[in-house]
Amino acid sequence: MSKNRTIIDIATALGISPSTVSRALNDHPRISNETKEKVKKLVFELDFTLNPMASSLRSNKTQTIGMIVPGISYYFHATVLTVVQNLLWKEGYQVIICQSNDSPEVEKELVNTLYASRVVGVIAATTLRTTDFSHYDILTRNQIPLVFYDRVPVNYYPAQIVKGDDYKGGFEATEHLIQLGCKSIAHISGPLTCNLYKDRYAGYIDALKKYKIPYRQDIVFFHELSMDNAVESIKKIFKMETKPDGIFTANDTSAIGALMVARELGIEVPKEFKIVGYSNDPRSSIISPGITTIDQHPDLIGQQLAITILDLIRGAETNLITEPIITPITLTIRESSKA
């Protein structure tokens, strides 16, 4: 194991002091350009890098940003992660990705570990069932910038929020079905404790109101958005006397479930029954008929997250938390909702 070089090696080689080398490397203003260049040249030649542990220990600051997601492999989060990680890496930050596996207990532990690791910022999508956010207090209390995205606190919490326009998504999905002539539109929603479903549901309701379509409680479902649950609900729908002629589901898995049940029962989509999902999961474009869905543009959300956390970290003195940042959505029309 070749012993690592230190700042002292650079200093002695150049006949200057370690502090000067340190300052040169950190672009300290009161160091002559001449010295800076001299130092940087040698550092480059020797392929020297500062020991990040030593820097962090001394300055009590890391270059690490924590990111908490329910799971890496969900399409939406994977895409957000990809963008965030790439952008922050370019800015010299390590991103440490943590998975809550949708467990509030694990989430709590993750926050503590991230805090103990002295991260300089945290980006988090909470679990579906997190209603108490006090385990994040340790961050806010210590002025560690915190940005929530996607699944965010429903009530006030002193952290920045970045999220897709779920209300608009719900509204446009429903309006689209109405404009296609649907008279009775079912809805599969997740639990209303989660902002995502609350907002999409609100959009659904308001679209119905706008077009004076009566709300039918018997065709609106609230449950975890798994395939099994979806299939069960859809089957109920198709057994009703007055069947709905369309459905808006709060995720694409449920929409796929709806399509499968319809196929099984010989109900023609979109002719007899129209479907709109949510998220633009890759599967929704592959299945036939393709499923109309709301694209949340996870890449845009990722970009916004990177920008936001960097702003907060760099301007940490001033309190920069603003109103929630809402990113746009796009209704993506496919065969499942053609006229």
Chain positions contacting its own copies, by CB under 8 A: 1-2, 47, 49, 51-54, 56-57, 62, 71-73, 75, 78-79, 81-82, 85-86, 89, 94-99, 101, 112, 116-118, 141-143, 256, 282-283, 286-288
Which ranges in 211-335 belong to alpha helices (H)? 227-239, 252-264, 282-286, 298-314
Chain centre distance of CA 4: 39
Q: Nearest approach, Cβ of 98 to its own copies (angstroms)?
A: 7
CA distance 296 to 87: 19
**Any contact of residue 20 with DNA (CB under 7 A)?**
yes
Element at 69 (helix H, strand E): strand 64-69
User: Residue from 27, 44, 47, 60 that binds DNA (CB under 7 A)?
Assistant: 60
State which residue, 137 or 218, has the beta carbon closest to its own copies.
137
Element at 98 (helix H, strand E): strand 94-99
> CB under 5 to 8 A by kind: which of DNA, its own copies, none does 243 bind?
none
CA distance 7 to 86: 29
> CB under 5 to 8 A by kind: which of its own copies, DNA, none does 283 bind?
its own copies
**Any contact of residue 19 with DNA (CB under 7 A)?**
yes
Which ranges in the chain belong to alpha helices (H)? 7-14, 18-25, 33-46, 52-59, 75-90, 104-116, 137-141, 166-179, 195-210, 227-239, 252-264, 282-286, 298-314
**Any contact of residue 26 with DNA (CB under 7 A)?**
yes
Exposed/middle/buried for residue 266 (C-beta within 10 Å: 0-12, 13-18, 19+): exposed
State which residue, 186 or 259, has the beta carbon closest to its own copies.
259
CA distance 201 to 195: 10
State which residue, 282 or 315, has the beta carbon closest to DNA.
315
> CB under 5 to 8 A by kind: which of DNA, its own copies, none does 16 bind?
DNA
User: Residue from 12, 17, 112, 322 that binds DNA (CB under 7 A)?
Assistant: 17
77: which residues sit within 8 A by CB, 6+ positions away? 69, 70, 71, 125, 150, 298
**Any contact of residue 3 with DNA (CB under 7 A)?**
yes
**Any contact of residue 32 with DNA (CB under 7 A)?**
yes
> CB under 5 to 8 A by kind: which of DNA, its own copies, none does 31 bind?
DNA
Q: Nearest approach, Cβ of 294 to its own copies (angstroms)?
A: 19
CA distance 307 to 301: 10
In this structure, the strands spanning 293-295 and 330-332 are antiparallel
State which residue, 6 or 140, has the beta carbon closest to DNA.
6
Are 187 and 221 in contact, with CB atoms under 8 Å apart?
yes
Count of Cβ atoms closer than 10 Å to residue 101 Cβ = 12
> CB under 5 to 8 A by kind: which of DNA, its own copies, none does 212 bind?
none
State which residue, 192 or 260, has the beta carbon closest to its own copies.
260
Count of Cβ atoms closer than 10 Å to residue 323 Cβ = 7
State which residue, 58 or 239, has the beta carbon closest to DNA.
58
> CB under 5 to 8 A by kind: which of DNA, its own copies, none does 336 bind?
none
State which residue, 71 or 328, has the beta carbon closest to its own copies.
71
> CB under 5 to 8 A by kind: which of its own copies, DNA, none does 23 bind?
DNA
**Chain residues that interact with DNA, rule: CB under 7 A:** 3-4, 6-8, 15-20, 22-23, 25-26, 28-35, 50-51, 54-55, 57-60
